[in-house]
Structure 1
Amino acid sequence: MTTRTRRAVTLGSAGSLVAVTLIAGALAAPAASAQGTGEARTAYAKDREARGAAVAAARAAKKGIDWQDCPKEWELPQPVQCGWITVPLDYAKPNGKQIKLAVDRAVSTGTKEERQGSLVYNPGGPGASGMGFPLRVANKLPLWEKTSKAYDFVGFDPRGVGRSTPISCVDPQEFVKAPKLDPVPDSAADKRAQRKLAAEYADGCKERSGWMLPHMTTRNSARDLDVLRAALGDKKLNYLGVSYGTYLGAVYATLFPSHVRRMVVDSVVNPSKEKIWYEANLDQDVAFEVRLKDWMTWVAKYDSTFHLGDTQEKVYAQWTKLRAEAKRAPFGGAVGPAELIGYFQKAPYYDSYWVRIATNWSKFVAGDREPLIKAAAPDMSDIAGNKDAENGNAVYTAVECADAKWPTSWKKWDRDNTRLHKDHPFMTWANAWMNLPCATWPSKQHQPTEVKTGKGLPPVLIAQSTRDAATPYEGAVELHKRLKGSRLITEKDAGSHGITNLANPCLNERVDAYLLTGKVDSQDVTCAPHATPKP
């Protein structure tokens, strides 16, 4: 995203200007199809939004991005540059209220002949910032050396996130305050207390950010992504999405199939309409329990180092004991069961945390309690970090609640989570309470997008580990079925979340080859796992 992205061929600029005029004129005329059935009204609304997205993209292509050195407080040093794009709050009203999205880039390091455009990144969430992505170039990470010669690495804060018209649901310092209620209920009264908190959180979202909530959908973020593509001066999008970023990519590929040039999706959200989002969260609970036990098996293997038990069962018993102790008297006055789950869940997410968490846990059991308490307790002095954490949770909730219609019956939530908890106690209730605001969500809930292959969509590269906790393997298989011509690279017997940023030549070389040449293997590929951590 240098001055190169601001270039405009005269014919292209004129063509864009004409398109804006024609589309805006069409939008002004009332349509008879808006009458009649609900299906007709929905189809008409989608058509208006599609035309509105074209208006916004044409406007962005003409304007480009004014790249500058990043503000000092953003902590994005040179050569990273920052800028803004403007998008409609509501794509059905492209000339109505606008919001600003923050973007950044590190320009490609290769020659002019090597450059292939911009590679846009989304790390997931929903609610995570992608602004750190260009640092992979700035810090000269060897894993991305070949790709960074061909592409400007572009990050952005999606709508509602960080500096992109951020939303909020509660005071950040209140949000991080600890200890919180034990997620695992002992009684009906405990469940009533959690339900009350969830409803109050939903109300807080309406009170603090109600004007944004109806528009905090993945479909709108996909349209924002197309506006960003246009502002960058790229005819087609090159995209890397991880975790929720895979669903954003899948929705983009459905809405704008002919606008995709290269797309890599890593650690895949199941795109089935039946899974978005209630069922997907239940699937997570099962997968987290499996991966937690993978880690505990590894801890037991190194019992001579950690002294937490020489079998997975013994290590799990230590976890149960630790949790019970924290419930009786929170460690340091701040680390109860909820905070322990928040800290320990990093191990099922990423095996890069395995040594760190096991070491702190081992020290705690041996009598040195401070490292574990410090790692698991909130830092109330970190005002900026706490603000980011609250904002991230607000966006997560807003997007998942707006994307789909959630069950409103408490009996269903209670029945499903009680059943799952019996065999998968680690995350089930904690996950339920996190999502329960969607049961009383005060804003419109939409129907999920039917992810499918559209005309002009090129091969999409899918990367997935078989034992991923946050996005179970079945999600990658489902997306692979839906996107014709896609290729699935499976990292077998591994479970880290986000594998394209890990050293595994079998995977890394194929990602490079695809991004640099567009070529994929003639069939799906299974890779051996990346190296397992050692203490």
Structure 2
Amino acid sequence: MTYRTSLTALALALAGLVAHPPAAGATASAGASSVRWKACPDYSDEVIRGMGVAEDKVAAFHSLMKRLECGTVSVPLNHREPGGRKIDIAVTRLAATDKAKRLGAVAVLPGGPGNSGYLDPVLRTALRNEQMAGLNERYDIIGFDPRGVGYSTKVACPMSPNGPQEPGTLTEEAARKTYDAQVAANEKCGRSDPAFLGQLTTENVARDLDLVRTALGERSLNLLGFSWGTYLGMVYRSVFPGHTGRAFLDSVAPPWTRIDEHAKGAAEAAERNFGRMAAWLASRDEIYGLGATARQVREEVAKLVRAYDKTPKIYTDLQRPIDGSAVADLARRNSTEWVRAGKALAELRTATGTTAPPTVKEVLGAPMMGTPVPGAPEILNMTMNLAVACNEDSSRADFDSAWRAYQQLVKRHPATGRAWGVPVMCAGWPLPVQQATLKRGSGSLVLAGHLYEFMSAYDWTLQTRRAIGGTVYTVADDVHVSTTRVPKCAADVVRYFETGRIGRGCAGSPLPS
């Protein structure tokens, strides 16, 4: 599961009608909702580039949008009350290009919770690389915005209840203020629209997806899940085993939903992976000067964490203060960022002056976002992220427990632990806990675990296999959901959906040279 800053969504007018018949031989259930097809949004080149599309692929994006079909499916807000209030789920479809050899439909399950999947048929498959584009030859690619996200029905709670924290060592007094503010914000949010927020669960998203399947006229859906989308895939497969085809789940979530255990497992994995980073930096001591052995690098970075917590620095050209949490943030970066993170750590050893060193500014200043480009689609809905996580979190720790957990985390992980805050995300959430029941199934399931990553710790992949079965596909990198980005790995993914066969794994993203 991932937790990131969202872009503000701006409404886009949809008009027109696009007809598309159900898949050959498929029949819709009696009384099932159909897809209300509409014109797809028209994005400017500026918006497209803002989505991460390279300049040389902007024209291809426009071309794919002409093929993409967009619509909505009406579903019950409460699936236990099918005759009650209805909400809309935004759906997209990129039809298979080789209709004579069509094998079915692959639904792309986005991460988050709260990420948009509306444009995933374009961004995650057809436009990603040559290998993933091949998946669209024999499969329709289905994208959707889960309830509470993007173009689907949603609500909004005010976020960021605390304001900026004082830089430096996190004291118990400051942590308690954060905890109390989080409790107040969660209570206010949860009670603002409990009828809607209480229905934001993974199982309800899975039930929505099955109604999308019916509306599309598909007997079954194949699943391609990323991050939280892997948990959604587990739940869909458990609730609708007869409607699930092949499933490939990348960066596997654990088969449980406790926020405290999630933070603990991710922190342990991050510190372990820093050992790899430390060895890499040590082998380049003439460049970074952080130590000639991994142990020396570890000690130097832990020393920097303590030093910047004791004496934080406020740079005039950075909105973020540089304290121990910022140093630890650099230490937990994945291998694609080791070059820049290493340079930033080296700069912080000798930094002087009132402006940030160049790489520090580049790395730690980059996440600050201004006003989104008009017409940009929502990337992540933080209200949905909060509601799903907290509706399913049975820990909801009291302050004393959360503070002890944080202190242990910092003590056990001297290089990266300070990057994690006190685990109070769901403290005071007023709505009842709702957890899905995962079941073993006999259908085809591949669990792609990344050996060194922390956002989805590799051990969670093994736990999930023990809980629900499946085949483990090991990716020997530390990069979250990288499988479809690496051509050799992506070729395995496409081959799996075409043949049902999968190897033992792939190398994943290479280490920087």
TM-score bracket, shorter-length normalisation: 0.7 to 0.9
Work out which of the residue numbers 226, 236, 261 in structure 1 matches 2:220: 236
Partners of 1:210 and 1:427 lie apart in 2 by 37
Matches within 5 A, 1:441-460: 441-446=429-434, 448-454=435-441, 457-460=442-445
Map Cα deviations across residues 83-125 of structure 1 (whole Å, 9 max, x no partner). Answer: 22222211112222222232334333x3212222322112311
Partners of 1:338 and 1:406 lie apart in 2 by 27
Q: TM-score, normalised by structure 2?
A: 0.80
> What residue number does 2:84 align with?
96
Is the 1:465–1:497 contact (alpha carbons within 8 Å) kept by the matching residues of 2? yes
> What residue number does 1:43 align with?
none
Work out which of the residue numbers 394, 398, 408 in structure 2 matches 1:405: 394
Is the 1:170–1:390 contact (alpha carbons within 8 Å) kept by the matching residues of 2? no
Partners of 1:119 and 1:509 lie apart in 2 by 16
Structure 2 unaligned spans of 5+: 1-16, 49-60
Work out which of the residue numbers 84, 92, 112 in structure 1 matches 2:99: 112
Is the 2:475–2:507 contact (alpha carbons within 8 Å) kept by the matching residues of 1? yes
> What residue number does 1:54 align with?
none
Matched, 1:280 2:254: no
Between 1:393-402 and 1:252-261, the stretch displaced more is: 393-402
Partners of 2:87 and 2:463 lie apart in 1 by 34
> What residue number does 1:51 align with?
none
**1:404–1:287 distance in 2 versus 1, CA, 3 Å:** same
> What residue number does 2:336 align with?
352
**1:139–1:236 distance in 2 versus 1, CA, 3 Å:** same
Matched, 1:517 2:488: no
Q: How many residues align?
A: 469
Q: Once the 2 structures are TM-superposed, how far is the Cα of residue 166 of structure 1 from its aligned partner?
A: 3.5
Q: Once the 2 structures are TM-superposed, how far is the Cα of residue 222 of structure 1 from its aligned partner?
A: 1.0
Partners of 1:167 and 1:281 lie apart in 2 by 27
Task: Name the aligned partner's letter for residue 162 of structure 1.
Answer: G
Map Cα deviations across residues 449-492 of structure 1 (whole Å, 9 max, x no partner). Answer: 231124xx4110111122221121221112222334x2111234
Q: TM-score, normalised by structure 1?
A: 0.77
For the residue of structure 1 that corresponds to 2:91, the secondary structure is strand
For the residue of structure 2 that corresponds to 1:418, the secondary structure is helix
> What residue number does 2:510 align with?
531
> What residue number does 1:55 align with?
none
**1:138–1:501 distance in 2 versus 1, CA, 3 Å:** closer
For the residue of structure 2 that corresponds to 1:436, the secondary structure is coil
Map Cα deviations across residues 153-185 of structure 1 (whole Å, 9 max, x no partner). Answer: 3322212223323443325xx6796x5345852
Matches within 5 A, 1:193-272: 193-206=177-190, 209-272=193-256
For the residue of structure 2 that corresponds to 1:69, the secondary structure is coil
**1:277–1:388 distance in 2 versus 1, CA, 3 Å:** farther
Task: Name the aligned partner's letter for residue 515 of structure 1.
Answer: F
Partners of 1:452 and 1:183 lie apart in 2 by 46
> What residue number does 1:296 align with?
278
**1:380–1:139 distance in 2 versus 1, CA, 3 Å:** closer
> What residue number does 2:447 align with?
462
Q: Once the 2 structures are TM-superposed, how far is the Cα of residue 250 of structure 1 from its aligned partner?
A: 0.4
Work out which of the residue numbers 45, 63, 69 in structure 1 matches 2:40: 69
Partners of 1:204 and 1:425 lie apart in 2 by 36
Matched, 1:340 2:340: no
Task: Name the aligned partner's letter for residue 532 of structure 1.
Answer: L
Structure 1 unaligned spans of 5+: 21-57
For the residue of structure 2 that corresponds to 1:99, the secondary structure is strand
Map Cα deviations across residues 228-270 of structure 1 (whole Å, 9 max, x no partner). Answer: 2223322101111111111110011100011101110111111
Work out which of the residue numbers 465, 485, 499 in structure 1 matches 2:482: 499
For the residue of structure 1 that corresponds to 2:134, the secondary structure is helix
Task: Name the aligned partner's letter for residue 157 of structure 2.
Answer: C
Q: Once the 2 structures are TM-superposed, how far is the Cα of residue 335 of structure 1 from its aligned partner?
A: 1.6
Partners of 1:280 and 1:195 lie apart in 2 by 18
Q: Once the 2 structures are TM-superposed, how far is the Cα of residue 423 of structure 1 from its aligned partner?
A: 0.9
Partners of 1:389 and 1:293 lie apart in 2 by 36
Q: Once the 2 structures are TM-superposed, how far is the Cα of residue 365 of structure 1 from its aligned partner?
A: 5.5
Partners of 2:294 and 2:378 lie apart in 1 by 32
Partners of 1:160 and 1:7 lie apart in 2 by 27
Between 1:146-155 and 1:247-256, the stretch displaced more is: 146-155
Higher relative contact order (CA 8 A, sep 6+): 2
Is the 2:390–2:433 contact (alpha carbons within 8 Å) kept by the matching residues of 1? yes
Is the 1:267–1:463 contact (alpha carbons within 8 Å) kept by the matching residues of 2? yes
Is the 1:453–1:483 contact (alpha carbons within 8 Å) kept by the matching residues of 2? yes
Work out which of the residue numbers 134, 138, 143 in structure 2 matches 1:150: 138
**1:3–1:130 distance in 2 versus 1, CA, 3 Å:** same
Q: Once the 2 structures are TM-superposed, how far is the Cα of residue 218 of structure 1 from its aligned partner?
A: 0.9
Is the 2:179–2:427 contact (alpha carbons within 8 Å) kept by the matching residues of 1? no
Partners of 1:10 and 1:147 lie apart in 2 by 21
Between 1:310-319 and 1:212-221, the stretch displaced more is: 310-319
Map Cα deviations across residues 11-70 of structure 1 (whole Å, 9 max, x no partner). Answer: 935xx22xx4xxxxxxxxxxxxxxxxxxxxxxxxxxxxxxxxxxxxx22xxx12415232
Map Cα deviations across residues 175-205 of structure 1 (whole Å, 9 max, x no partner). Answer: 796x53458523x312212212221331342
**1:101–1:445 distance in 2 versus 1, CA, 3 Å:** same
Give the RMSD, CA atoms, in angstroms.
Answer: 3.4
For the residue of structure 2 that corresponds to 1:212, the secondary structure is helix
**1:240–1:306 distance in 2 versus 1, CA, 3 Å:** same
Partners of 1:12 and 1:269 lie apart in 2 by 33
Matches within 5 A, 1:33-52: none
> What residue number does 2:13 align with?
none
Is the 2:448–2:474 contact (alpha carbons within 8 Å) kept by the matching residues of 1? yes
Is the 2:112–2:380 contact (alpha carbons within 8 Å) kept by the matching residues of 1? no
Q: Once the 2 structures are TM-superposed, how far is the Cα of residue 334 of structure 1 from its aligned partner?
A: 2.0
> What residue number does 2:6 align with?
none
**1:262–1:441 distance in 2 versus 1, CA, 3 Å:** same
In proportion to residue count, which structure has more helix? Answer: 1
Map Cα deviations across residues 203-240 of structure 1 (whole Å, 9 max, x no partner). Answer: 34236554422111111111122122223322101111
Work out which of the residue numbers 294, 299, 321 in structure 1 matches 2:304: 321
